[in-house]
C-alpha cells in the first residue's frame, strides 16, 4: 500500500451508516478503523476497557497520546469522530494534512428519526433480521431544530478548516455506502489498490419503512419541516463566520412587545410565568430567525432581555436538573461518565436516605472541579450550554441581535416591573420558585464551594462583576 496519508478520520454522526462503512473499510488489507476512539463515554466500542494499549482514563489525561498510537499502528489506521466527541482532538486532526478526511453525511431527518427509534428500542445495530425491533416515535420540532443546529455547526466548522488549509476530503452520502464502486473508490483515495468483490452482509438496515410511517405524528412533522430554512434565505448576508444564535429558545408573550432570551440554567420558568401573566396566558416560542424578524417588524418599540444568575446558583441548578435528575432534561450518558471517569460521587438514587446534605455537597463540589476542566477544554465531554459561561452565551446572542437589557436574578422583581413600565403594560407579580432538589444551595453553600465556582467561572465573575453568592 502506497498512501499519501499517515491515518484517516471518518467525520460522521450517529445513525449515518458509520458502522457499516467501518465494517467495509476493515475488509481491505492494510486498513483498520478502530471505532469511536474519542467517544467521551467509552473508548473505541461500548464495554471495551482499552484501545491500542491505552485505557479510558489514560486517554482522558492524554487524548493526543491515543492519536499518536493510531498514527503508529500497522498499515493505515483511523477512527470515527462525531460532533460530541473529545473537543481536544478535532483541531489537530482537521489541521493535519497527513490525515485523510472522509465525510459521511445523511439526510438529517432520517438520522434524527433513526436515532430516536434506536433510543426507544435500545437496538443500535442489527445483524439478524429475526431480532429486529421497531417503534414509532413522536417527532419533536424543537428537539429536531437543536439536533439540526448542532450538525450544521459541526459541518461548517469542518468545511471552514478544510478550505482555510487548502485540503480536500472524500465525501460520501448514506445512499452511497452500499455502492461497491464508491467503497472501492474510497479505498483508492486512501492508497489501497485492492478492490472488494462485494460488501459486507453482516449489518442489516434497521428501519426501511418510509419516513412518515416511522412517526406517530406525521402531519405535525410535515408542518414543522416546512418552516426549516434549507437555503438560508432569511439570513442577512454578511462576511463574518456563521454562528448559531439559538433563536428557537426565545420567548414572547401575546400582545406584549417583550422578547425574552433565556439563559440556560437561569431563572427561566420564573420569567416565563411572568410573561404568561402579561400575555393573558399565551406564550409564543420555537421561533426561526425569519419568524423573529417578522415579530420585530410587527412590534415597533420592542425590548429584548436576558437574565443572569449568580455562577454558583446557576451551576447548582444545572447540576440538579441535568446530572442528579434522571427524568426529562437530564444527561444520563454524561452522568455515567462523570461518575466513572471523573469520580464525581453521584448517587444512584437521590431520594435514598444515605444521600444527605454532606453527600450532596461533596457531589456538587466535585462537579464544580469538573466544570473548571471542562470549561478550559481539558475534558472529552462537551461544554454544554447548561453550564457554559454566561459571557459566552450573551456573546452568542449577538450573532442575531444583542439583548437591550441584561437583568440580574437578585433584582429581578424590580427589573421586570421597570420593563413592563417601559413598554406600557400592566405589571404582574414575579414569583420565585425553588428549582434545585433534593437540597437547595443554601443547605450546602460555604467558602470552599464559592472558591471552586470562582475557579470554574473566572470569566463570568470578571465580566459581570459578581461577588460571593453569600457575602
Pairwise CA distance, residues 243 & 397, whole Å: 10
Longest dimension (CA), the chain: 76
Reply yes or no on whether the pLDDT at 243 is more than 50: no
pLDDT at res. 236: 35
Least-confidence region, from 109-123, 225-239, 452-466 = 225-239
Task: Tell me what the mean pLDDT of segment 117-129 comes to.
Answer: 69
What is the distance between the terminal CA atoms of the chain, rounded to a whole angstrom? 67
Residue 398 exposed, middle or buried by CB count within 10 Å (0-12, 13-18, 19+): exposed
Confidence of residue 451 (pLDDT cuts 50, 70, 90): very high
Helix, strand, coil percentages for the chain (3-state, nearest 5): 45, 10, 45
Q: What is the mean pLDDT of the chain?
A: 90
Question: In this structure, what are the phi and psi dihedrals at residue 163, rounded to the nearest 5 degrees?
Answer: -65, -45
pLDDT tens-digit series, residues 313-357: 999 999 999 999 988 889 999 999 999 999 999 998 888 888 999
Quick: pLDDT tens for 417-429: 999 999 999 999 8
Residue 322 lies in a domain: no
Lookup: cell for 386: 447548561
pLDDT at 247: 87
Q: Is residue 359 part of a domain?
A: no
Confidence check: pLDDT of 449 > 50? yes
| Number of independent structural domains in the chain | 1
- Return phi, psi of residue 307, to 5°: -130, 120
Is the peptide bond prior to 271 cis by the omega test (within 30 degrees of 0)?
A: no
Half-sphere exposure of 369 (CA within 13 A, CB side): 12
Pick the more confident residue, 144 or 135: 144
Q: How far is CA 196 from CA 28, 170, 243, 315, in A?
A: 7, 18, 42, 53
pLDDT beyond 50 at 224: yes
Band the pLDDT of 205: cuts 50, 70, 90. low
pLDDT band at 241 (very low <50, low <70, confident <90, very high): very low
* Strand-pair category, 99-105 with 7-11: parallel
CB-based contact 364:452 (threshold 8 Å)? no
Q: Is the pLDDT of residue 237 over 70?
A: no
Cβ proximity of 422 and 447 under 8 Å: no
- Whether residue 74 contacts residue 142, with contact meaning beta carbons closer than 8 Å, is answered with no
At residue 45, the 3 state secondary structure works out as: strand
Query: SS3 sequence, 305-342?
Result: EEEECCHHHHHHHHHHHHHHCCCCCCCHHHHHHHHHCC
User: Residue 55: pLDDT above 50?
Assistant: yes
Cα separation, 385 vs 393, whole angstroms: 8
- Phi-psi domain of 23 (left: phi exceeds 0; alpha: psi -120 through 50; beta: other): alpha
**Domain span at 117:** 7-204
1 pLDDT band (50/70/90 cuts)? confident
Predicted local distance difference test score (pLDDT) of residue 134: 74
Backbone φ and ψ of 461, nearest 5°: -60, -40
Average pLDDT (231-248) is: 48
Does residue 300 lie within any of the structural domains? Answer: no
pLDDT tens digits, one per residue of 403-413: 999 999 999 99
User: Is 54 inside a domain boundary?
Assistant: yes
User: 199-203, 397-401, 445-449 — which one is most confidently predicted on average?
Assistant: 445-449
CB 158 within 8 A of CB 261: no
Q: What integer is the mean pLDDT of 364-377?
A: 94
User: Is the residue at 82 inside a domain?
Assistant: yes
What's the CA angle centered on 337, arms 332 and 339, to 5 degrees?
95
- Report how far residue 79's alpha carbon sits from residue 9's, in angstroms, rounded to the nearest whole number: 5
Please tell me the predicted confidence (pLDDT) of residue 149: 86
- Whether residue 170 lies inside any domain: the answer is yes
The mean pLDDT value for 98-127 works out to 85
C-alpha to C-alpha distance for 105 and 190, rounded to whole angstroms = 19
More confident residue, 171 or 123: 171
> Is position 395 within any domain?
no
Q: Residue 222 above 60 pLDDT?
A: yes
pLDDT, position 119:
83
- Mean pLDDT score, 159-171: 94
DSSP state, residue 400: T
Residue 204 pLDDT: 56
Cell of 321: 436538573
On whether residue 210 sits in a domain, the answer given is: no
CATH number assigned to the domain comprising residue 156:
3.40.50
Among 126-140, 174-188, 311-325, 442-456, the range scoring the smallest mean pLDDT is 126-140
Name every residue whose Cβ is closer than 8 Å to that of residue 411 and which is 6 or more positions away in sequence.
none
213 falls in which pLDDT band (50, 70, 90)? confident
Question: Which of these, 315, 377, 440, lies nearest to 90 by C-alpha position?
Answer: 377
Amino acid at each position: 500500500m502506497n498512501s499519501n496519508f499517515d491515518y484517516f478520520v471518518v467525520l460522521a454522526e450517529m445513525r449515518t451508516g458509520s458502522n457499516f462503512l467501518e465494517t467495509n473499510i476493515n475488509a481491505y488489507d492494510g486498513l483498520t478503523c478502530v471505532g469511536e476512539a474519542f467517544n467521551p463515554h467509552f473508548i473505541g466500542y461500548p464495554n471495551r476497557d482499552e484501545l491500542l494499549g491505552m485505557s479510558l482514563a489514560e486517554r482522558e489525561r492524554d487524548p493526543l497520546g491515543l492519536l499518536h498510537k493510531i498514527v503508529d499502528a500497522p498499515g493505515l489506521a483511523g477512527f470515527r469522530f462525531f460532533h460530541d466527541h473529545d473537543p481536544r482532538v478535532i483541531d489537530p486532526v482537521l489541521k493535519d494534512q497527513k490525515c485523510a478526511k472522509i465525510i459521511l453525511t445523511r439526510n438529517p431527518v432520517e438520522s434524527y428519526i433513526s436515532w430516536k427509534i434506536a433510543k426507544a428500542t435500545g437496538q443500535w445495530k442489527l445483524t439478524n433480521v429475526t431480532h429486529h425491533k421497531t417503534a414509532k416515535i413522536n417527532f419533536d420540532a424543537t428537539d429536531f431544530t437543536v439536533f439540526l443546529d448542532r450538525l450544521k455547526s459541526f459541518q461548517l466548522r469542518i468545511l471552514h478548516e478544510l478550505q482555510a488549509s487548502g485540503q480536500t476530503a472524500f465525501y460520501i452520502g448514506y445512499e452511497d455506502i452500499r455502492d461497491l464502486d464508491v467503497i472501492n473508490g474510497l479505498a483508492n483515495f486512501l492508497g489501497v489498490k485492492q478492490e472488494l468483490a462485494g460488501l459486507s452482509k453482516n449489518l442489516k438496515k434497521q428501519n426501511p419503512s418510509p419516513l412518515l410511517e416511522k412517526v406517530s405524528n406525521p402531519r405535525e412533522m410535515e408542518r414543522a419541516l416546512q418552516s426549516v430554512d434549507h437555503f438560508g434565505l432569511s439570513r442577512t448576508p454578511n462576511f463574518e463566520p456563521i454562528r448559531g444564535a439559538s433563536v428557537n429558545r426565545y420567548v414572547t408573550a401575546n400582545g406584549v412587545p417583550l422578547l425574552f432570551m433565556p439563559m440556560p440554567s437561569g431563572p427561566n420558568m420564573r420569567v416565563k410565568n411572568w410573561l404568561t401573566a402579561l400575555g393573558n396566558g399565551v406564550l409564543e416560542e420555537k421561533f426561526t430567525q425569519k419568524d423573529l424578524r417578522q415579530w420585530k417588524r410587527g412590534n415597533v418599540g420592542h425590548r429584548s432581555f436576558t437574565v443572569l444568575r449568580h455562577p454558583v446558583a446557576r451551576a447548582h441548578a444545572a447540576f440538579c436538573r441535568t446530572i442528579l435528575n434522571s427524568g426529562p432534561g437530564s444527561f444520563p450518558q454524561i452522568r455515567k461518565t462523570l461518575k466513572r471517569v471523573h469520580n464525581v460521587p453521584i448517587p444512584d438514587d437521590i431520594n435514598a436516605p444515605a444521600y444527605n446534605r454532606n453527600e450532596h455537597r461533596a457531589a456538587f463540589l466535585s462537579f464544580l472541579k469538573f466544570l473548571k476542566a471542562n470549561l478550559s477544554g481539558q475534558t472529552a465531554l462537551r461544554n454544554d450550554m447548561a453550564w457554559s459561561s454566561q459571557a459566552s452565551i450573551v456573546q452568542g446572542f449577538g450573532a442575531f441581535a444583542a439583548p437591550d437589557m441584561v437583568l440580574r436574578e437578585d433584582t429581578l422583581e424590580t427589573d421586570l416591573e421597570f420593563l413592563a413600565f417601559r413598554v406600557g403594560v400592566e405589571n404582574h407579580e414575579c414569583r420565585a420558585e425553588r428549582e434545585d432538589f433534593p437540597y437547595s444551595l443554601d443547605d450546602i453553600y460555604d467558602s470552599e464551594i464559592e472558591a471552586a465556582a470562582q475557579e470554574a467561572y473566572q470569566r463570568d465573575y470578571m465580566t459581570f462583576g459578581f461577588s460571593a453568592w453569600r457575602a
